[in-house]
Amino acid sequence: MARCIVIADDLTGANATGVLLKKMDYNTYTMMNSERLELSLSDSCDCLMYPTDSRGIDKELAYNRVYNAAKLLFDSEVKVWAKRIDSTMRGNIGAETDAILNVLGDDVIAISAPCFPESGRTVVGGYLMVNGLPLHKTSVALDPKCPVKTSNVADIFRQQSKFKVGSIKLDDMMNGKHVLAEHMKKLVNEGNRILVFDCVTQGDLDLIADALITSGLKFAAVDPGVFTATIARKLITPVKKDTKHKILALIGSVNPVTKAQVEELWLNQRTAYNVFIKSPLMLENDCIRDAEIKRVSDELLEKSSKYEILTAVGDGIYSENRIDFSKYTDRYDNTDKMTERINDAFAQIGYNVLSQNPAFKGIYSSGGDITQALCKKFNTTGLRLLDEVLPLAAYAEMMSGDFPDIKIITKGGMVGDDDAANRCITYLKEKLYM
Protein backbone atom coordinates (compact mmCIF):
# COMPACT_ATOMS: atom_id res chain seq x y z
CA MET A 1 0.00 0.00 0.00
CA ALA A 2 1.13 3.54 -0.71
CA ARG A 3 2.55 5.18 2.38
CA CYS A 4 1.29 8.66 1.42
CA ILE A 5 -2.33 9.25 0.38
CA VAL A 6 -3.33 12.67 -0.97
CA ILE A 7 -7.02 13.35 -1.59
CA ALA A 8 -7.28 16.48 -3.74
CA ASP A 9 -10.31 18.55 -4.66
CA ASP A 10 -9.27 18.67 -8.32
CA LEU A 11 -7.00 16.93 -10.80
CA THR A 12 -4.64 19.87 -11.30
CA GLY A 13 -4.00 20.12 -7.57
CA ALA A 14 -3.45 16.39 -7.29
CA ASN A 15 -0.85 16.46 -10.04
CA ALA A 16 0.85 19.56 -8.63
CA THR A 17 1.33 17.85 -5.27
CA GLY A 18 2.36 14.63 -6.98
CA VAL A 19 5.10 16.44 -8.86
CA LEU A 20 6.48 17.85 -5.59
CA LEU A 21 6.71 14.31 -4.26
CA LYS A 22 8.13 12.93 -7.49
CA LYS A 23 10.95 15.51 -7.31
CA MET A 24 12.07 13.70 -4.15
CA ASP A 25 12.16 10.35 -6.01
CA TYR A 26 8.88 8.99 -4.67
CA ASN A 27 7.07 6.70 -7.07
CA THR A 28 3.81 8.66 -7.47
CA TYR A 29 0.49 7.81 -9.15
CA THR A 30 -2.65 9.86 -9.79
CA MET A 31 -5.81 7.73 -9.85
CA MET A 32 -8.43 9.25 -12.13
CA ASN A 33 -11.22 6.71 -12.73
CA SER A 34 -12.64 5.39 -9.45
CA GLU A 35 -14.88 2.96 -11.31
CA ARG A 36 -11.82 1.20 -12.71
CA LEU A 37 -9.64 1.71 -9.66
CA GLU A 38 -7.30 -1.18 -9.06
CA LEU A 39 -6.10 -0.90 -5.49
CA SER A 40 -3.33 -3.36 -6.26
CA LEU A 41 -1.64 -0.60 -8.26
CA SER A 42 -1.10 1.33 -5.04
CA ASP A 43 1.17 -1.44 -3.81
CA SER A 44 3.79 -0.41 -6.35
CA CYS A 45 3.89 3.29 -5.49
CA ASP A 46 5.06 5.41 -2.58
CA CYS A 47 2.46 8.16 -2.94
CA LEU A 48 -1.08 8.00 -4.32
CA MET A 49 -2.99 11.09 -5.54
CA TYR A 50 -6.79 10.81 -5.66
CA PRO A 51 -8.74 13.77 -7.12
CA THR A 52 -12.43 14.05 -6.14
CA ASP A 53 -13.43 17.00 -8.39
CA SER A 54 -15.23 18.53 -5.42
CA ARG A 55 -14.09 22.15 -5.22
CA GLY A 56 -17.10 23.85 -6.78
CA ILE A 57 -19.93 21.48 -5.81
CA ASP A 58 -22.42 21.41 -2.92
CA LYS A 59 -20.65 20.96 0.44
CA GLU A 60 -22.62 17.82 1.37
CA LEU A 61 -21.69 16.16 -1.90
CA ALA A 62 -18.06 17.25 -1.43
CA TYR A 63 -18.08 15.72 2.04
CA ASN A 64 -19.41 12.43 0.69
CA ARG A 65 -16.84 12.22 -2.11
CA VAL A 66 -13.91 12.78 0.24
CA TYR A 67 -15.36 10.48 2.90
CA ASN A 68 -15.88 7.67 0.40
CA ALA A 69 -12.40 8.13 -1.09
CA ALA A 70 -10.76 8.03 2.34
CA LYS A 71 -12.79 4.92 3.25
CA LEU A 72 -11.79 3.23 0.01
CA LEU A 73 -8.11 3.97 0.43
CA PHE A 74 -7.85 3.53 4.20
CA ASP A 75 -4.96 1.40 5.38
CA SER A 76 -3.30 1.41 8.79
CA GLU A 77 0.15 1.35 7.14
CA VAL A 78 -0.26 4.80 5.58
CA LYS A 79 2.18 7.22 7.24
CA VAL A 80 1.00 10.48 5.68
CA TRP A 81 -2.63 11.38 5.00
CA ALA A 82 -3.22 14.66 3.24
CA LYS A 83 -6.17 16.72 2.07
CA ARG A 84 -4.88 18.86 -0.78
CA ILE A 85 -6.63 22.23 -0.90
CA ASP A 86 -6.47 25.23 -3.18
CA SER A 87 -3.64 27.66 -2.42
CA THR A 88 -6.18 30.47 -2.17
CA MET A 89 -8.55 28.56 0.13
CA ARG A 90 -11.34 28.19 -2.43
CA GLY A 91 -13.77 25.33 -2.21
CA ASN A 92 -15.29 23.12 0.48
CA ILE A 93 -12.25 23.11 2.71
CA GLY A 94 -14.06 22.65 6.02
CA ALA A 95 -16.43 19.92 4.85
CA GLU A 96 -13.63 17.97 3.18
CA THR A 97 -11.40 18.25 6.25
CA ASP A 98 -14.28 16.98 8.39
CA ALA A 99 -14.72 14.03 6.06
CA ILE A 100 -11.12 12.86 6.25
CA LEU A 101 -11.02 13.32 10.04
CA ASN A 102 -14.21 11.30 10.46
CA VAL A 103 -12.68 8.42 8.52
CA LEU A 104 -9.29 8.49 10.23
CA GLY A 105 -10.68 8.56 13.75
CA ASP A 106 -11.21 10.75 16.82
CA ASP A 107 -7.54 10.72 17.76
CA VAL A 108 -6.45 12.34 14.48
CA ILE A 109 -6.08 16.09 14.02
CA ALA A 110 -5.81 18.25 10.92
CA ILE A 111 -2.64 20.31 10.46
CA SER A 112 -3.15 23.20 8.05
CA ALA A 113 -0.05 25.10 6.94
CA PRO A 114 -1.34 26.71 3.71
CA CYS A 115 1.98 28.25 2.76
CA PHE A 116 3.44 28.03 -0.76
CA PRO A 117 6.52 30.27 -0.65
CA GLU A 118 7.52 29.90 -4.30
CA SER A 119 4.03 30.97 -5.37
CA GLY A 120 3.86 33.96 -3.05
CA ARG A 121 1.41 32.35 -0.59
CA THR A 122 2.25 33.06 3.04
CA VAL A 123 0.31 33.15 6.31
CA VAL A 124 1.15 35.95 8.75
CA GLY A 125 -0.86 36.73 11.88
CA GLY A 126 -3.40 34.16 10.74
CA TYR A 127 -4.00 35.95 7.44
CA LEU A 128 -3.28 34.43 4.04
CA MET A 129 -1.26 36.78 1.85
CA VAL A 130 -0.98 36.38 -1.91
CA ASN A 131 2.09 38.17 -3.25
CA GLY A 132 1.87 40.55 -0.31
CA LEU A 133 -1.87 41.27 -0.60
CA PRO A 134 -4.51 39.96 1.81
CA LEU A 135 -6.47 37.18 0.14
CA HIS A 136 -9.78 39.05 0.20
CA LYS A 137 -8.20 41.93 -1.75
CA THR A 138 -7.20 39.71 -4.66
CA SER A 139 -9.25 38.46 -7.60
CA VAL A 140 -10.14 35.37 -5.56
CA ALA A 141 -12.78 37.42 -3.79
CA LEU A 142 -14.57 37.75 -7.14
CA ASP A 143 -14.31 34.09 -8.17
CA PRO A 144 -17.73 33.25 -9.69
CA LYS A 145 -17.88 29.70 -8.30
CA CYS A 146 -15.86 29.84 -5.06
CA PRO A 147 -15.46 33.43 -3.82
CA VAL A 148 -13.42 33.89 -0.64
CA LYS A 149 -14.50 36.88 1.46
CA THR A 150 -11.96 36.76 4.30
CA SER A 151 -8.20 36.39 4.58
CA ASN A 152 -8.33 34.83 8.05
CA VAL A 153 -7.48 31.15 7.53
CA ALA A 154 -8.86 29.97 10.88
CA ASP A 155 -12.14 31.79 10.23
CA ILE A 156 -12.51 30.03 6.86
CA PHE A 157 -12.26 26.70 8.65
CA ARG A 158 -14.61 27.83 11.44
CA GLN A 159 -17.25 28.89 8.91
CA GLN A 160 -17.15 25.51 7.18
CA SER A 161 -16.14 22.88 9.74
CA LYS A 162 -17.92 21.37 12.72
CA PHE A 163 -14.62 20.94 14.59
CA LYS A 164 -12.93 23.40 16.93
CA VAL A 165 -10.08 25.33 15.31
CA GLY A 166 -6.88 26.48 17.01
CA SER A 167 -4.44 29.00 15.55
CA ILE A 168 -0.65 29.07 15.98
CA LYS A 169 1.15 32.32 15.15
CA LEU A 170 4.77 33.11 14.41
CA ASP A 171 5.30 34.19 18.02
CA ASP A 172 4.45 30.64 19.08
CA MET A 173 7.14 29.25 16.77
CA MET A 174 10.18 31.17 18.02
CA ASN A 175 11.52 28.67 20.57
CA GLY A 176 12.14 25.53 18.58
CA LYS A 177 10.37 22.28 17.83
CA HIS A 178 10.09 20.98 21.39
CA VAL A 179 8.29 24.07 22.71
CA LEU A 180 6.08 24.14 19.64
CA ALA A 181 5.25 20.44 20.06
CA GLU A 182 4.07 21.07 23.63
CA HIS A 183 1.97 24.03 22.48
CA MET A 184 0.34 21.86 19.82
CA LYS A 185 -0.50 19.16 22.35
CA LYS A 186 -1.97 21.79 24.69
CA LEU A 187 -4.30 23.06 21.96
CA VAL A 188 -5.37 19.50 21.12
CA ASN A 189 -6.05 18.76 24.80
CA GLU A 190 -8.30 21.83 24.81
CA GLY A 191 -10.46 20.17 22.15
CA ASN A 192 -9.06 21.65 18.92
CA ARG A 193 -9.17 19.14 16.01
CA ILE A 194 -7.86 21.58 13.38
CA LEU A 195 -4.63 23.53 13.92
CA VAL A 196 -3.87 26.43 11.56
CA PHE A 197 -0.28 27.71 11.35
CA ASP A 198 1.44 30.88 10.33
CA CYS A 199 4.10 30.03 7.76
CA VAL A 200 6.25 32.24 5.57
CA THR A 201 9.26 30.18 4.50
CA GLN A 202 10.22 26.59 3.84
CA GLY A 203 12.07 26.78 7.16
CA ASP A 204 8.74 27.41 8.90
CA LEU A 205 7.24 24.34 7.24
CA ASP A 206 10.22 22.24 8.32
CA LEU A 207 9.83 23.48 11.88
CA ILE A 208 6.11 22.64 11.93
CA ALA A 209 6.82 19.17 10.54
CA ASP A 210 9.62 18.54 13.06
CA ALA A 211 7.41 19.69 15.93
CA LEU A 212 4.54 17.54 14.73
CA ILE A 213 6.77 14.45 14.62
CA THR A 214 8.16 15.31 18.06
CA SER A 215 4.64 15.66 19.49
CA GLY A 216 3.61 12.15 18.48
CA LEU A 217 0.18 13.45 17.43
CA LYS A 218 -1.71 11.56 14.72
CA PHE A 219 -2.50 13.90 11.88
CA ALA A 220 -3.71 14.64 8.38
CA ALA A 221 -2.07 17.47 6.45
CA VAL A 222 -4.44 20.05 4.93
CA ASP A 223 -2.50 22.29 2.58
CA PRO A 224 -1.69 23.15 -1.07
CA GLY A 225 1.02 20.48 -1.18
CA VAL A 226 4.30 21.95 0.09
CA PHE A 227 3.72 20.98 3.72
CA THR A 228 2.59 17.52 2.61
CA ALA A 229 5.85 17.10 0.71
CA THR A 230 7.81 18.39 3.72
CA ILE A 231 6.32 15.96 6.22
CA ALA A 232 6.50 13.09 3.71
CA ARG A 233 10.25 13.42 3.21
CA LYS A 234 10.73 13.28 6.97
CA LEU A 235 8.60 10.17 7.48
CA ILE A 236 8.88 8.16 4.28
CA THR A 237 12.05 6.84 2.69
CA PRO A 238 11.61 5.62 -0.88
CA VAL A 239 12.29 1.98 -1.52
CA LYS A 240 15.99 1.26 -2.05
CA LYS A 241 16.93 4.55 -0.41
CA ASP A 242 19.02 4.62 2.74
CA THR A 243 17.88 6.94 5.48
CA LYS A 244 19.99 10.06 5.43
CA HIS A 245 20.03 12.47 8.30
CA LYS A 246 22.56 15.29 8.45
CA ILE A 247 24.22 18.00 6.38
CA LEU A 248 27.54 19.74 6.96
CA ALA A 249 28.04 23.20 5.48
CA LEU A 250 31.60 24.52 5.12
CA ILE A 251 31.75 28.21 4.28
CA GLY A 252 34.99 30.10 4.02
CA SER A 253 34.21 33.04 1.73
CA VAL A 254 34.54 36.45 3.38
CA ASN A 255 32.67 38.68 0.94
CA PRO A 256 29.45 40.55 1.86
CA VAL A 257 27.39 38.29 -0.42
CA THR A 258 28.34 35.24 1.65
CA LYS A 259 27.61 37.06 4.90
CA ALA A 260 24.07 37.91 3.77
CA GLN A 261 23.50 34.36 2.55
CA VAL A 262 24.73 32.78 5.77
CA GLU A 263 22.56 35.02 7.92
CA GLU A 264 19.53 34.21 5.76
CA LEU A 265 20.36 30.51 6.12
CA TRP A 266 20.50 30.71 9.91
CA LEU A 267 17.25 32.65 9.99
CA ASN A 268 15.36 30.07 7.94
CA GLN A 269 16.89 26.75 8.98
CA ARG A 270 15.68 26.36 12.54
CA THR A 271 17.44 23.00 12.94
CA ALA A 272 20.89 24.43 12.14
CA TYR A 273 23.81 24.96 14.53
CA ASN A 274 26.88 27.04 13.67
CA VAL A 275 30.46 26.96 14.84
CA PHE A 276 32.70 29.86 13.87
CA ILE A 277 36.19 28.93 12.74
CA LYS A 278 38.89 31.33 13.90
CA SER A 279 40.59 31.50 10.53
CA PRO A 280 43.71 33.45 11.64
CA LEU A 281 44.66 30.52 13.90
CA MET A 282 45.05 28.37 10.79
CA LEU A 283 48.10 30.43 9.89
CA GLU A 284 49.78 29.92 13.26
CA ASN A 285 52.10 27.01 14.10
CA ASP A 286 50.86 23.44 13.74
CA CYS A 287 50.05 23.08 17.44
CA ILE A 288 47.72 26.10 17.51
CA ARG A 289 46.23 25.20 14.12
CA ASP A 290 45.54 21.60 15.11
CA ALA A 291 43.96 22.69 18.39
CA GLU A 292 41.49 24.96 16.54
CA ILE A 293 40.64 22.21 14.04
CA LYS A 294 39.98 19.85 16.95
CA ARG A 295 37.87 22.41 18.81
CA VAL A 296 35.61 23.03 15.82
CA SER A 297 35.39 19.33 14.89
CA ASP A 298 34.54 18.28 18.45
CA GLU A 299 31.82 20.92 18.84
CA LEU A 300 30.23 19.98 15.50
CA LEU A 301 30.24 16.30 16.46
CA GLU A 302 28.82 17.03 19.91
CA LYS A 303 25.98 19.15 18.55
CA SER A 304 25.20 16.72 15.71
CA SER A 305 23.18 14.62 18.15
CA LYS A 306 20.64 17.45 18.42
CA TYR A 307 20.84 19.26 15.08
CA GLU A 308 20.27 18.18 11.47
CA ILE A 309 22.34 20.89 9.84
CA LEU A 310 25.77 21.88 11.11
CA THR A 311 27.55 24.89 9.66
CA ALA A 312 31.23 25.72 10.05
CA VAL A 313 31.81 29.30 8.96
CA GLY A 314 35.02 31.27 8.88
CA ASP A 315 34.75 34.20 11.27
CA GLY A 316 36.16 36.43 8.52
CA ILE A 317 32.63 37.00 7.18
CA TYR A 318 32.59 39.81 9.75
CA SER A 319 35.02 42.54 8.79
CA GLU A 320 36.49 42.94 12.28
CA ASN A 321 37.79 39.35 12.06
CA ARG A 322 39.40 39.58 8.62
CA ILE A 323 42.92 38.21 8.39
CA ASP A 324 45.74 40.70 7.97
CA PHE A 325 47.89 38.59 5.66
CA SER A 326 50.78 41.02 6.00
CA LYS A 327 51.40 39.66 9.50
CA TYR A 328 52.30 36.26 8.11
CA THR A 329 54.58 37.14 5.19
CA ASP A 330 57.64 36.05 7.16
CA ARG A 331 56.23 32.52 7.42
CA TYR A 332 54.71 32.02 3.97
CA ASP A 333 56.00 32.78 0.49
CA ASN A 334 52.76 34.27 -0.77
CA THR A 335 49.04 34.68 -0.10
CA ASP A 336 48.21 31.56 -2.10
CA LYS A 337 50.14 29.46 0.42
CA MET A 338 48.16 31.05 3.23
CA THR A 339 44.74 30.48 1.67
CA GLU A 340 45.74 26.91 0.81
CA ARG A 341 46.56 26.26 4.46
CA ILE A 342 43.20 27.71 5.55
CA ASN A 343 41.23 25.71 2.97
CA ASP A 344 43.05 22.55 3.99
CA ALA A 345 41.98 23.18 7.58
CA PHE A 346 38.32 23.49 6.51
CA ALA A 347 38.68 20.21 4.62
CA GLN A 348 40.25 18.53 7.67
CA ILE A 349 37.29 19.62 9.79
CA GLY A 350 34.97 18.09 7.21
CA TYR A 351 37.01 14.87 7.21
CA ASN A 352 36.94 14.63 11.01
CA VAL A 353 33.17 15.09 11.18
CA LEU A 354 32.25 12.67 8.39
CA SER A 355 34.68 9.98 9.54
CA GLN A 356 33.29 10.01 13.10
CA ASN A 357 29.57 10.40 12.35
CA PRO A 358 28.28 8.41 9.36
CA ALA A 359 24.89 10.14 9.62
CA PHE A 360 26.37 13.01 7.59
CA LYS A 361 25.38 12.29 4.02
CA GLY A 362 25.38 15.76 2.49
CA ILE A 363 27.86 18.64 2.21
CA TYR A 364 27.33 22.23 1.17
CA SER A 365 30.52 24.08 0.28
CA SER A 366 30.78 27.74 -0.61
CA GLY A 367 33.91 28.69 -2.49
CA GLY A 368 35.69 26.75 -5.22
CA ASP A 369 38.94 26.53 -3.26
CA ILE A 370 37.26 24.84 -0.31
CA THR A 371 35.51 22.36 -2.61
CA GLN A 372 38.83 21.48 -4.23
CA ALA A 373 40.45 21.05 -0.81
CA LEU A 374 37.59 18.77 0.28
CA CYS A 375 37.92 16.51 -2.75
CA LYS A 376 41.67 16.28 -2.20
CA LYS A 377 41.33 15.51 1.52
CA PHE A 378 38.55 12.98 0.89
CA ASN A 379 40.64 11.22 -1.82
CA THR A 380 37.70 11.42 -4.22
CA THR A 381 38.41 10.82 -7.89
CA GLY A 382 35.84 13.38 -8.97
CA LEU A 383 32.26 14.55 -8.77
CA ARG A 384 29.38 12.92 -10.61
CA LEU A 385 27.24 15.91 -11.61
CA LEU A 386 23.53 15.39 -11.04
CA ASP A 387 21.67 18.69 -11.27
CA GLU A 388 21.80 22.48 -11.29
CA VAL A 389 20.32 23.88 -8.08
CA LEU A 390 20.61 27.49 -9.21
CA PRO A 391 22.97 29.27 -11.61
CA LEU A 392 26.58 28.36 -10.67
CA ALA A 393 25.45 26.01 -7.90
CA ALA A 394 25.76 22.31 -8.78
CA TYR A 395 24.43 19.19 -7.07
CA ALA A 396 26.81 16.25 -7.35
CA GLU A 397 27.94 12.95 -5.85
CA MET A 398 31.47 12.14 -4.73
CA MET A 399 33.08 9.33 -6.70
CA SER A 400 35.07 6.69 -4.78
CA GLY A 401 37.55 7.94 -2.18
CA ASP A 402 37.05 7.78 1.60
CA PHE A 403 33.42 8.95 1.45
CA PRO A 404 31.88 7.57 -1.75
CA ASP A 405 28.32 8.54 -2.64
CA ILE A 406 28.31 11.59 -0.37
CA LYS A 407 26.07 14.23 -1.93
CA ILE A 408 27.49 17.72 -2.28
CA ILE A 409 26.30 21.12 -3.47
CA THR A 410 29.08 23.43 -4.57
CA LYS A 411 28.52 27.15 -4.97
CA GLY A 412 30.77 30.07 -5.72
CA GLY A 413 31.17 32.52 -2.86
CA MET A 414 29.94 35.51 -4.89
CA VAL A 415 27.03 33.67 -6.51
CA GLY A 416 23.33 34.09 -5.84
CA ASP A 417 20.82 36.23 -3.98
CA ASP A 418 20.53 36.40 -0.20
CA ASP A 419 18.47 33.18 -0.14
CA ALA A 420 20.95 31.15 -2.23
CA ALA A 421 22.52 29.19 0.64
CA ASN A 422 19.12 28.46 2.15
CA ARG A 423 17.82 27.24 -1.21
CA CYS A 424 20.83 24.94 -1.57
CA ILE A 425 20.40 23.48 1.91
CA THR A 426 16.67 23.00 1.36
CA TYR A 427 17.42 21.21 -1.90
CA LEU A 428 19.84 18.88 -0.11
CA LYS A 429 17.26 18.16 2.60
CA GLU A 430 14.75 17.16 -0.05
CA LYS A 431 17.24 14.85 -1.74
CA LEU A 432 18.35 13.28 1.54
CA TYR A 433 14.83 12.86 2.99
CA MET A 434 15.40 15.02 6.05
Task: Answer yes or no: is pLDDT of 136 > 80.
Answer: yes
Q: What's the average model confidence in pLDDT over 280-305?
A: 95
**According to the model, what pLDDT value does residue 243 have?**
60
* CATH 3.40.980.20 residue window(s) in the chain: 246-432
CATH architecture of 246-432: 3-Layer(aba) Sandwich (3.40)
Whole-structure pTM over 0.75, yes or no? no
**According to the model, what pLDDT value does residue 320 have?**
87
* CATH 3.40.50.10840 residue window(s) in the chain: 4-235
**According to the model, what pLDDT value does residue 139 have?**
81
CATH architecture of 4-235: 3-Layer(aba) Sandwich (3.40)
Interhelix angle 11-22/226-235, nearest 10 degrees: 40
What are the tens digits of pLDDT across the range 8-45?
Answer: 999 999 999 999 999 888 889 998 765 455 555 556 68
**According to the model, what pLDDT value does residue 146 have?**
74
What are the tens digits of pLDDT across the range 52-110?
Answer: 999 989 999 999 999 999 999 999 899 999 999 999 999 999 999 999 999 999 999 99
What are the tens digits of pLDDT across the range 99-119?
Answer: 999 999 999 999 999 999 888
